[in-house]
Amino acid sequence: MTTDRERTGPAWGTFLELESSAGGPLHTRLTRALRTAVASGRLAAGSTLPASRVLAADLRCSRWVVTEAYAQLVAEGYFEARSGSATRVRAHAGTDAVRGGAREGGDRWTPRFDLLPGVPDLRAFPRKRWADRVRAATTELTWDELGYPDAAGLPRLRRQLASYLARGRGARVDPGQLVVCARTLDAVMRLCRSLRAAGHTHVAVEDPGWTQLRLTVAAAGLTPAAIPVDEHGLRVDVLREAPDVRAVIVAPAHQFPTGVVLAPARRAEPADWAREVDGLVMEDDYDAEFRYDRHPVGALQGVAPEHVALLGSLSKTLSPAVRLGWIAAPERWTAALTTKDTGGTPPPVIGQDAFTRFVSSGSYDRHLRASRLRYKRRRDHLLCELAARLPGQAVGGAAAGFHLLLPLEDCPAGAVVEEAARADVRLASLDDYRAAEATADTPATSTLVVGYGNLTDQAVPGAVQRLARAIERVRAGEHGH
């Protein structure tokens, strides 16, 4: 008889059938093989995965291949990674209840109601205007520009970005200090590798925070140090007590996932700390353009450009598919970000030129204005439906971005996530984004993170109805029946 311990023990002996090189890069093939192993049941829920070094040695590949595959499957909801403990197969992974992954057989789950945070309104992507700019770039780029791109990015795009960041985010950026990259995680990886080369060993991250940031820091060979976030933002007083840390990643304009904005009394503290330790603040400016109750707060980089690197991308404003971002770094770090040692390569020149035209024509500003209005209306609609279906339910998070929080006083959020998945609704729990397991000092919370970016306006009532029903079922003890 197989015991629970046997079912959830180490998965080190699992057979992984990797396809031939025709199936794509090795990390992609490994990701696919691991995903299939979960979906088929060969990797059981709760199983621990081998350390990246061990699996890399077994497969005779680089550790990067394994960390990339693990990071992708964490993002899809198959695996869960906690700082200081082994990576595991998430409970219910490979079933209809998996939050970010697939149904049995390996097909990606496309829920009827997607309330997962962090995804913009993909239906609103300006296809025609973007296609026009891509067509113009393809037609008008010079022969020289069709060759290998400048490692820092297309010069005219950097000039446009410097102008946009100055007027839109209050940044102080010289085009020569801008580096165009693929996305925010590419920016973080480049900076972390540069920090490691300069002798850094740790990078602080917000807790709770975006899981992929912690994984990227670790993949760069640095140790992520979790710093708590409270209702006023990052606890800089705790950061000061971490003697090995001289770099931190922070989202001051709208922290993910708590939705708090760094309080005015704390805004100067990260830069002050960086000056004291001769360190670096990496400012994740992921959705600062979307503030609905007041004007967005300016970037920290604008007040301390010598110690703050501003990171941005088009993943939230246009689409992750564009794969274009930027780093406005202090001058001392700029050169290192474009060396081969950082591992980054610039996005395709055609996409860079298309975005340059998109900004210079005013299309980007118009798209942002329309998006702000659309997200504000949808948030208001969501709040009305929540008030009707869940009277008295508190709502947390600033009126910004495209997610909010639902703190549940008498109901475990994790159980609601699973129950909602059975009703074809995908969402997340705040504890999914914590760096460590709950302890007596840091008890588990019961808070849902509800995204509304990629939800149609017409779908809001149905999504809330099913979510409310899931909460009611868990409260009534009917969860899983």
pLDDT digits 0-9 by tens, 223-247: 999 999 999 999 999 999 998 999 9
Q: Which residues pair with 247 in a beta bridge?
A: 280
What token pair was written down for 350?
A: 């055609």
Measured CA distances, 468 to 324, 359, 465 (Å): 37, 41, 5
Cα–Cα distance measured from residue 238 to residue 175, given in angstroms and rounded to the nearest whole number: 35
Q: Residues 470, 419: contact at Cβ < 8 Å?
A: yes
Query: Cα 289 from chain centroid?
Result: 16
Q: Residues 257, 208: contact at Cβ < 8 Å?
A: yes
Cα–Cα distance measured from residue 131 to residue 325, given in angstroms and rounded to the nearest whole number: 19
3-state SS class at 401: coil
What is the arithmetic mean of pLDDT over 431-437?
Answer: 82
Model pLDDT, residue 91: 64
* pLDDT classification of 217: cutoffs 50, 70, 90: very high
Nearest-CA neighbor of 98 among 35, 5, 30? 35
Q: Residues 346, 337: contact at Cβ < 8 Å?
A: no
Cα–Cα distance measured from residue 337 to residue 162, given in angstroms and rounded to the nearest whole number: 17
pLDDT tens digit sequence for 343-361: 677 899 999 999 999 999 9
How many of the other CB atoms lie within 10 Å of CB of 83? Answer: 18
* pLDDT classification of 82: cutoffs 50, 70, 90: low
Cα dihedral 41→47→51→52 (10° resolution): 30
Cα dihedral 331→205→171→275 (10° resolution): -50
For residue 443, pLDDT beyond 60: no
CA angle at residue 167 from 163 to 170, to 5 degrees? Answer: 110
* pLDDT classification of 440: cutoffs 50, 70, 90: very low
The sign one gets for the Cα dihedral 250, 255, 258, 261 is positive
Q: Which domains does the chain have, with CATH numbers?
A: 4-108 (1.10.10.10), 127-363 (3.40.640.10), 365-475 (3.90.1150.10)
Cα–Cα distance measured from residue 456 to residue 238, given in angstroms and rounded to the nearest whole number: 41
Q: Which residue has the tokens 């770099």?
A: 247
* pLDDT classification of 27: cutoffs 50, 70, 90: confident
* pLDDT classification of 100: cutoffs 50, 70, 90: very low
Q: Which residue has the tokens 């805004």?
A: 267
Percentage of the residues of the chain whose pLDDT score is greater than 90: 63
DSSP string over 29-41: HHHHHHHHHHHTT
For residue 103, pLDDT beyond 90: no
Cα–Cα distance measured from residue 169 to residue 176, given in angstroms and rounded to the nearest whole number: 18
Specify the higher pLDDT residue, 80 or 66. Answer: 66
What is the residue type of 478? E
Cβ-Cβ contacts under 8 Å for 249 (sequence gap 6 or more): 188, 203, 204, 205, 206, 209, 213, 217, 282, 284
For residue 445, pLDDT beyond 80: no
Nearest-CA neighbor of 233 among 268, 190, 186, 203? 268
Q: Which residue has the tokens 């020149």?
A: 349
Model pLDDT, residue 197: 92
Q: Which residues pair with 429 in a beta bridge?
A: 448
Nearest-CA neighbor of 401 among 285, 268, 289, 243? 289
pLDDT tens digit sequence for 297-327: 889 999 999 999 999 999 999 999 999 999 9
Specify the higher pLDDT residue, 467 or 14. Answer: 467
For residue 46, pLDDT beyond 70: yes
Q: Output the average pLDDT for the chain.
A: 86
For residue 408, pLDDT beyond 90: yes
Residue 99 burial (CB < 10 Å; 0-12/13-18/19+)?
A: buried
Cis amide leading into 257 (omega within 30):
yes
* pLDDT classification of 83: cutoffs 50, 70, 90: low
CA angle at residue 45 from 41 to 51, to 5 degrees? Answer: 100
Helices (runs of H) and strands (runs of E) counted in the chain:
15, 15
Cα–Cα distance measured from residue 466 to residue 461, given in angstroms and rounded to the nearest whole number: 9
Indicate left, alpha or beta for 20 from its phi (over 0: left) and psi (-120 to 50: alpha).
Answer: beta
CA angle at residue 161 from 198 to 151, to 5 degrees? Answer: 45
